[in-house]
Amino acid sequence: MPSASASRKGQEKPREIMDAAEDYAKERYGVSSMIQSQEKPDRVLVRIRDLTEQKADEVVWVRARVHTSRAKGKQCFLVLRQQQFNVQALVAVGDHASKQMVKFAANINKESIVDIEGVVRKVNQKIGSCTQQDVELHVQKEGRATVNQDTRLDNRVIDLRTSTSQAVFRLQSGICHLFRETLINKGFVEIQTPKIISAASEGGANVFTVSYFKNNAYLAQSPQLYKQMCICADFEKVFCIGPVFRAEDSNTHRHLTEFVGLDIEMAFNYHYHEVVQEIADTLVQIFKGLQERFQIEIQTVNKQFPCEPFKFLEPTLRLEYCEALAMLRGAGIEMGDEEDLRFVYDTDFYILDKYPLAVRPFYTMPDPRNPKQSNSYDMFMRGEEILSGAQRIHDPQLLTERALHHGIDLEKIKAYIDSFRFGAPPHAGGGIGLERVTMLFLGLHNVRQTSMFPRDPKRLTP
Amino acid sequence: MPSASASRKGQEKPREIMDAAEDYAKERYGVSSMIQSQEKPDRVLVRIRDLTEQKADEVVWVRARVHTSRAKGKQCFLVLRQQQFNVQALVAVGDHASKQMVKFAANINKESIVDIEGVVRKVNQKIGSCTQQDVELHVQKEGRATVNQDTRLDNRVIDLRTSTSQAVFRLQSGICHLFRETLINKGFVEIQTPKIISAASEGGANVFTVSYFKNNAYLAQSPQLYKQMCICADFEKVFCIGPVFRAEDSNTHRHLTEFVGLDIEMAFNYHYHEVVQEIADTLVQIFKGLQERFQIEIQTVNKQFPCEPFKFLEPTLRLEYCEALAMLRGAGIEMGDEEDLRFVYDTDFYILDKYPLAVRPFYTMPDPRNPKQSNSYDMFMRGEEILSGAQRIHDPQLLTERALHHGIDLEKIKAYIDSFRFGAPPHAGGGIGLERVTMLFLGLHNVRQTSMFPRDPKRLTP
């Protein structure tokens, strides 16, 4: 049974692998097989209008549409609907549900049909928003019978006409605008980097091949090497917005094969934290700008997808990776759930700094204090990664060593390494996934909702 | 001998074919074959310091570097240099030189070495900018011995550090910024359209193929179909900036296989001229913004590449294609030299409207007054096309007919045609080539000068 929390392939961080290994509830949820009238289980499906105090503490099965869903920390609240009746259902991490099962519930699309097993519980305070006000369903098992996301995407032009879609993409246009406005005010220059490249310079595994006249070429996995070459060419502070291509066979809520990268690269004086601060400030300016200029759009989306307003601190919280790991472990929480840090610090935006060198790309600058660490960082929104960045190696000798260590063919990155031979300033940068920022700012649960015409291993149309 | 004015393949306008056919001077210029000491011609090469009044009216051969070049209408002025001596040379359309030969001269890169045959002519007014002030060379034959553009591009990081390159790309960043600033103020929404598409929807000839997991996909030749689908999805006014891919084996001064498209699409009320006016106004706002905010950059580029300031009228001059054709023919000028219109109207920016239906893409709306014409337009800067646009067919029936007429497989554009079945407003738009706008605004002569890392059939690196 494919689950929505399938682990990501490729250069993945170890925490996600741990994550997948520990799902003690994995038999309790998933995509149901299509009912082809093969079996006749003696399971009674209860009607929502019959879920009253009289049924309190009974275990029941319900088949219903998902009317709304709202995840918050370790809980997910669903409103289940049958015609004009609806009831609140709760999936919470505990004996019956794992973290992954809560995530799965949160990712079920509205209007999907689900089969749910749960205990009917009396509530202390009436649930004003539901017709069944006196009880809620505590979910023990859930099966998603059908999803309509594909239907929506197949008919994307009509789906984009809904007020929610209109608001989502107007806000996304605003993110791009605020990103550029902020950076141009900071003296950055916008650059355009080629997408067709001659060699799979960032590792061959996840790259698309293009027929280029009589030869092969590749689609750029990021503008990384080119934005660094612009720093070597003395542009000092550059940014670009453009498509990024990843031939990863990942079918998760947050992976696309083509997405829009908001990229920054910048020379600094003495410490890469100068750059980290500029990037964090840029994101804060985006959050502020959205909350100031796009309230109507935020409220429109919230009507269909209720969500807490996005919270952030100034200055932005920055923790070292090891420090955060130790803190979470001290609290009995396994690393891999960066989301928990949100609640500890009451912020939806934070930075983890100093990742292990081994899990970062070859061009990442090692940490001079600790050779196992690196001057690299990720930024998180609502507990999910939206940016990966680092100080880059600007010394051609060290860069060559690190490339060899990673088994990279030097011939293929000759132009890149040569760029550093004629003098390069220290520099750092990062790449932001536009669709993820939109998704997480609005508290949505699938990156396909924030890509107009999403591309994944199974979808190339419309 | 390859000439710089090689005709463009593909869906080309007839004027360019005429153009190439009429070069009466084609034996008089071109790229010289590499001297491998095979011949010993008894040609005397004269030194520039010896070009004085004493040599007046003599025909001489000179080998020199191109120090500067400046094209103006039917003339091109070169300054030729040998160490500390230099002389002005003039290539002018006439008995010895064709229009194409002048263009060829204008496209020779600075610092190239040329062999030139010309008549030494006394000048009435001293040429203050040259060491040889009393004479100039009237060119009769020219051969470009070596060009250094490839060397520059091979070492692009260093080339980009020059003050000229810095100015060119800072101004180009400004073009993008002004484009978006103007459109966002006009209420447009920025969209992101996919670059990997499932079918070569705009004709299969010029499309790059991508391996997509177990299937093939293609690189979008424009965001055309997607921006129209956004209009069908009620976004009303949209724009995007992104890479455009053309698998054309064209090696001219104005073609790249990957360039940056500035695209606009907009619903209108009654007449597509509403859209033409919005686009023209956007370009005028860009020109004004550049002249207001980027004077330092313009002057920096002018030092190396002297050029008249860019001139434009308000409102923008719009002529019908047939009207312009008739006017030029009346003046004894063949169509294909839209540049001449610049001088007639004293503007570097104008629009030609109502192109023949036969030369435009299948989705172009026919002209209701004349079925052989269409509601389509090109926009020109300094006589070269920078935008192609049209009213699009928004009726699925007519669109189907026109697609069939063009021999297009309807199955491959089903999602596109279906978009119009659920109600589509009348709309029009256009696509602008960013590198061409930068090149022509600055009066440069090769689009590779305005692409940071240009891609053409022969160049994929750096």
Q: Cβ contacts (< 8 Å) between B242 and chain A: which residues?
A: 242-243
Considering CB atoms only, which of B173, B194, B211 is closest to A209?
B211
Q: What confidence tens digit (pLDDT) does each residue in A196-246 have?
A: 999 876 666 799 999 999 999 999 999 999 999 999 998 999 999 999 999
- The strand pairing partners of A197, in sequence order, are A218
Pick from B363, B455, B339, B375: which is nearest to B71 by CA?
A: B339
**Is the pLDDT score of B285 beyond 90?**
yes
Residue A254 among the catalytic residues: yes
- Band of pLDDT at residue B167, cut at 50, 70 and 90: very high
Residue A183 confidence (pLDDT): 98
Q: Could you say which of B161, B230, B460 has the minimum Cβ distance to residue A233?
A: B161
Distance CA B453, CA B156 (A): 7
Q: Hey, CA dihedral for A238, A244, A248, A251, is it positive or negative?
A: positive
- Residue positions counted in chain B: 462
**Whole-structure pTM over 0.80, yes or no?**
no
Residue B19: pLDDT above 60? no
Q: Which of A:442-461 have CB within 8 Å of B?
A: 451-453, 455, 457, 460-461
- Give the count of Cβ contacts less than 8 A between chain A and B: 170
Is A462 an 8 Å CB contact of chain B? yes
Q: Which residues of B touch A419 (CB under 8 A)?
A: 157, 462
Task: Name which of B389, B393, B390 is nearest B416 in CA terms.
Answer: B393
- The size of chain A, in residues, is 462
CA–CA separation, A5 and A337 (whole Å): 13
Cα B104 to the chain's mean position, in Å?
A: 14
| B232: nearest CA partner in chain A | A157
Are B452 and A416 in contact (CB < 8 Å)? no
- Could you give the C-alpha distances from B298 to A235, B175, B309, in angstroms and in order? 17, 13, 9
Confidence category of residue B37, pLDDT binned at 50, 70, 90? low
Kind of pairing between the strands at A376-381 and A370-374? unpaired
pLDDT band for A1, please (50, 70, 90 cuts).
very low
The whole-number average pLDDT for the span B334-346 is: 79
Q: Which tokens sit at A81?
A: 């609907």
The pLDDT score that the predictor gives to residue B2 is 30
pLDDT for residue B170 is more than 90: yes
Asked if the C-beta of B417 comes within 8 angstroms of chain A's C-beta atoms, the answer is no
pLDDT at B159: 85
Is there a contact between B132 and B85 (Cβ–Cβ < 8 Å)?
yes
B42-52: per-residue pLDDT in tens?
788 899 999 99
How confident is the model at residue A146, as a pLDDT?
Answer: 52
Mean pLDDT of chain B: 87
Query: Residue B196: what pLDDT?
Result: 97
Closest by Cβ to B258, choosing from A194, A211, A229: A194
Q: Which of A436, A445, A448, A451 is catalytic?
A: A436
- Report CB contact under 8 Å: A229, B161: no
Above 50 in pLDDT, residue B143?
Answer: yes
pLDDT band of residue A33 (cuts 50, 70, 90) is low
Beta strands at A376-381 and A384-391: parallel, antiparallel or unpaired? antiparallel
Please state, in angstroms and as integers, the Cα–Cα distance from residue B301 to each residue in A8, B241, B260, following that order: 48, 25, 21
Residue in B255, B392, B394, B445 annotated catalytic: B255
- The helix/strand/coil state of A72 is strand
Is B246 catalytic? The answer is yes
Q: Is A194 on the interface with B (CB under 8 A)?
A: yes
pLDDT in tens, B107-140: 887 777 788 999 999 999 999 889 899 999 999 8
Q: Which of residues 259-318 of B touch A (CB under 8 A)?
A: 260
pLDDT at B141: 83
Residue B192 forms contact with A (CB below 8 Å): yes
User: What single string gives the DSSP state of each residue in B98-124?
Assistant: -HHHHHHHHTSPTT-EEEEEEEEEE-S
Cβ–Cβ gap B452/A226 under 8 Å: yes
Look at B234 and A210 and tell me if their CB atoms are within 8 Å. no
**B248 part of the active site:** yes
Q: Is the pLDDT of residue A309 over 80?
A: yes
ipTM of the complex: 0.74
What single-letter amino acid sits at A255?
A: H
Please say if the pLDDT value at position A137 is more than 80.
yes
